[in-house]
Structures are given as C-alpha cells and as structure tokens.
Chain A
Amino acid sequence: MSVVSLDQLELQLRRLEGVVAVGFVTTDDLVLIEVQAGPAAYDDLARDATVLAAEHVRGPVAVELVRWGDGGPHAPEARLRLVDVTTDPAAGDLTVRLARGDEEAVGRASTSGGLPAAVEATIVAVRAFLPDLAYLPGWARTVETTPDRRFLVVASVTDPLTRAHRRGAAEGATPVEGAVRATLAALNRTISRDL
C-alpha cells in the first residue's frame, strides 16, 4: 500500500469547494484521510474526496469528512450516543449501551471475536432502535495510539444488498470504546433521519 503523491492528493483535496484542512494517518495496512470542511462545502464532497483518494492511494483507504456549520440555526440532528461499554472476561461477552434521548438499548457480542465484537455489539444495540437497519458488522482496527494513551480506531459496516461500505473513525480510552464510537460515526449520519 502506498500513496502515489501525498502532496498532489492533498492539493487536489484542498481545491474542493469548502475544504479547509486535510490530514493523514498512515499505518501498515490503511491510509486514513481526514477532510475538514466549512459551511461552503457541497453535498457530494465526500464522494469527490473518496474518488480522489482512491486515485492516489494504492490499497485500503478511508476518508473521514468532518463538516462544520456556519453557526446559524440548524434543526438538531437525531443521534445515538454511547452511554457505556463494558466487558466481562469471565462471561466472555461485551456489552454496549446506547441512548436516543431518554431511551436506552443494549447490544451484546462475544469477546472471542476480538475488536470487531465491539462493532457487532453496537450494531445489535442500534437495531433495537432501528429493526430494519441494513448494515452488518464489518471490521475494526486500531490505527494509532496517541501519546496520552488514547486509541484511534477505524470501523467498517456493510450493507450486503447494496454492497455499500461505511467507515468511521473515532478515539476512545480503550480500543473497544474507540471501535464503538467509530461504528456510531460510520452510521449516525445515515440513520439520523430514521431515528
């Protein structure tokens, strides 16, 4: 896996309307590109950034788009939030508790699956709010450990019918927490209108 020209990719990303910053995290098996965008960003920015990334990076690449509003009034977007994530080594399971407003739901998965179990448990909890959720758990990978011992994790979920993959990146105090938050980052924008 390699980036053909990091400078050229960054330059082209910065030329996209509304982009204000571009950052990279490169590991042995993944290039994570963070694109920060201001209020001038257009609807298809994520698609265009992903196309550019795919043209310049040989191998797995994930693009995370962070949109900043203009500070004006916006309708609040419905989101699921993480309440708690716990592991029980004796029982061999992992529990994720999510909330939508005052409502809570729990998802569980076997820890034998490793870090992807966090994605699975999160999907189970999301499905308690959205039984028709099309996405299935994919994978999760810690891509960076920060000097203050926080873990940057990328998680992937897949719609098997459309073969659409959604990836999210997030930090956590543990890899498991990072994986849960990354799964929510992958899903929240897609599912917000149905919540």
Chain B
Amino acid sequence: MTSTDESLVAAAQHSTGLATLYRALDDLVDLYALDDAAVVVDVPGFGRQVLHAGRRPLRTDERGLHAAEPGLYLEPPLEDPVLSRLMLALGTLALRHDAGTTSAT
C-alpha cells in the first residue's frame, strides 16, 4: 500500500466525507498526472453538485460542469467506467454522510 492510499484510508476513518472525497480527487490527479478532476453528483437534499479537485473555484467553468450530468470528469479524459462509478458513489456517500452527521449534532 502506498502512502497516498494510506492517507485516503485515514481520511475515510477520521475525516469528513467531503475531506475524503477531495483527498480521492487529489490522489487521482497525482496518480495519473491529470490537469484536473471533478465529480458531479445528484444527492437528495442537495440536488446537482460539482466537487472540484483541490476545492478550487470553477471560475468561468469552460467545461460546463455546472450543467453536467452526474459522473467523473477528468482532464485529460480517462475511460474507466468502474472508477467513474466508484467516485460517483463516493461523492454521493460523502454528502449524505456529512449531512447526516451535521443534522445529528
């Protein structure tokens, strides 16, 4: 297991869902030397949400992510349906988990 994997697992164990999701996006960018990564999810209570690597602003959103369908968006693109589904699931779970944690406290 690499240190990157360890930090992702540690985030899942000790951090929030959002922090874990952003950790995973950053790991993807590092692992595949990507220019950018974002995941778009549709979560009850939140609606359509774009989560951008590094929590960076979308600025002028040249890629139109604010109106994109749920999925994993990598730049340059990387065709891996399993990875896409996993990141989509992680993003959805992250928001649902944090919403539940916040409302429970």
Chain A residues close to B by CB (< 8 Å): 6-8, 10-12, 14-15, 19-25, 32, 34, 36, 38, 40, 64, 66, 68, 171
Beta-carbon contacts under 8 Å, B32-84 to A: 45-52, 55-59, 61, 65-67
Partner of B50, one of A7, A12, A21: A21
Partner of A10, one of B55, B56, B61: B55
What is the distance, in angstroms, from A12's C-beta to the closest C-beta of chain B? 8
A6–B16 alpha-carbon span in the complex (Å):
10
Partner of B57, one of A8, A11, A34, A40: A34
Q: Quick one: given A7-B18, A21-B49, are A34 and B58 in contact (CB under 8 Å)?
A: yes
Indicate if the CB atoms of B66 and A15 lie closer than 8 Å: no
Indicate if the CB atoms of A38 and B46 lie closer than 8 Å: no
* B99 CB within 8 Å of chain A: yes
Indicate if the CB atoms of A14 and B58 lie closer than 8 Å: no
* A interface majority secondary structure: strand
A-B pairs with lowest CB-CB distance, top 4:
A23-B57, A34-B57, A21-B50, A7-B16
Number of B residues contacting the other chain (C-beta, 8 Å)?
24
Indicate if the CB atoms of A24 and B50 lie closer than 8 Å: no
A23–B18 alpha-carbon span in the complex (Å):
13
Indicate if the CB atoms of B67 and A11 lie closer than 8 Å: no
What is the distance, in angstroms, from A3's C-beta to the closest C-beta of chain B? 11
Partner of B66, one of A11, A25, A36: A36
Indicate if the CB atoms of A20 and B18 lie closer than 8 Å: no
